[in-house]
Structure formats: C-alpha cells, structure tokens
Amino acid sequence: MKKLIVVTNNVEGTGKSACARGIHHLLQAHDFRTALVESDPDAPRIQDGFYLDMGDQPEVSEIVDILENVEAVVLDVNSGSFEDFSEFFTRQDVEDVMMELEVQITFVVPTVEDVKTLESVLQIAETFGEAGEFVTIATPVGYDEYRTWEGSAAQRAMQHLNATEIAMPELPEAILEEIESRGLDFASALDGRWELPRFLMNEVQGWMLAFNSELEWATDSLLPDRVAILKDGEFKSSYGGGVALGA
C-alpha cells in the first residue's frame, strides 16, 4: 500500500521543508521510491522533484500520476497554501480517491512553542482528523513562555488522533549562521549538502542522520506497506517478518 505524506501547518518558519526532506531521505534509506512535491514557488527544487500550485486549483489526478511511478509522495504544503490545500482536499475528494487506490494518508505536523502553531494544529485536527494518520514533530524554533505544547489543547487533540510524537534534533547556532552567510536557507543546505565545504557538509549530514534516527520511531505511519510475498512456506514482508502458513 502506497503513502501520501502531507507535511503541513499554517505557520511560517516551523521547519516544514526540513521535515519533508528528512522524511524523503528516510524513505529512500528504506529503499522506497519516493517523490517530494513542493507547493511553494520560491522553495528550492530537489533533483526529480515536483511542484504543485495549490492556488491554481490543481486536480487530484496530478498526485495520482506521480504515485504511479513511486511508492510514496511527500507533499510539502507551504504556509501560504494551507487554505488552498484544505479546499483542494475537500473539492477533489482526496481522501476517497486515495482510499479507492489503496493509498494511505499521513499528516505530519511540525510544532513549535507558540500560540499560532497551537491554533494551527487544532485547525488541522478539526479539518483532517478522520482522513489519515498523524505524526507531530517538535522543531527547535520559536518559543512562547506563556504557551507551550505540553499539556495544551493542541497536544490533546493530536493524542486523541493517536498521533506519534517525535522531536527534530537541533543544529548548532554557529552552523546555521554559517549556512546563512552563504546565502542559503536550511532546506537549500540539505538539498545541496554534498556541495558544501567538508566541515559544513559533515555537520548537515550528521543532522540528517540524527533526524532519520528520530523518524524511525514513526515508521509505522511513514513507511508504505510492502506487499507480502510467499517464500519457503511463509508469508514474509519486505521487513523480514514471517508467518507460517496455517499458523
């Protein structure tokens, strides 16, 4: 069963693009064919990536066409496109179409410690609560001493939806400053990490590996289900587990 993974919240600068790239990397590390789809016209494009303009009334067939050639699509919904995406999801009956195609939907919601993000998470829970699985990723940006994620209504809403909660590792401030001094944002640095100076490449690659380790806690929601195969009298999945026939 294939996956449509939607990375979204309606607050700018919460690490959505970094989350999308981390998940894209995780899927590739598990040998899944995957496509990263951007909805921000100003976002950097990875090689073989796609762009979907949510403000241009796209058709669900555009996602279906991409899914024909891959096992998972990671859709990075930029902040300015959230309302357009919500309308697209409803207007194009995306949930029903994916169900008919046996494609599972997972919503990945980056969270930071501020009131706007908490309000956005509640909106996401209300809008998409019955449409798929959920993963929240606490990202190390933003802070509001008067409003925190822990114990908030937003966290309780996600817990009610059985969301998996994980955390993004922090990158040293000096490394972020070094990246910015080169005219790059973090997403661009992730995309082009092999072209960075060696010391910077090692730091960025080390961060990616650490993030992948954290994402492993959410693989039940992030990895597609591979079709079981019959081998030596057992049904075996690609993950190595097996159940003997007649058990």
- CB atoms < 10 A from the CB of 215, how many? 25
CA 55 from chain centre, in angstroms, equals 21
Q: DSSP states of 136-182 as a string?
A: EEEEEEEE-TT--STT-HHHHHHHHTT-EEEEPPPPPHHHHHHHHHT
φ, ψ of residue 23 in degrees (nearest 5): -65, -40
Six token digits for residue 194: 């092999």
Cβ(210)–Cβ(217) below 8 Å: no
Laid out side by side, the sheet with 242-244 consists of 229-231, 234-236, 242-244
Per-residue pLDDT for 226 more than 90?
A: no
**Whether 7 contacts 218, CB under 8 Å:** no
Q: pLDDT tens across 82-102, in order?
A: 999 999 999 999 999 999 999
Predicted confidence at residue 32, as pLDDT, reads 96
| 45 has a pLDDT exceeding 70 | no
pLDDT digits (tens, 9 = 90+) for 153-176: 999 999 999 999 999 999 999 999
Q: Please tell me the predicted confidence (pLDDT) of residue 35.
A: 95
Q: What is the pLDDT of residue 227?
A: 58
Q: Which residues 6+ apart lie within 8 Å of 11 measured at CB?
A: 79, 112, 114, 116, 117, 120
Q: Is the pLDDT of residue 146 over 80?
A: no
Burial of 16 (C-beta count, 10 Å sphere; 0-12/13-18/19+):
buried
Mean pLDDT computed over 200-204 = 96
Domains assigned to the chain: 2-244 (3.40.50.300)
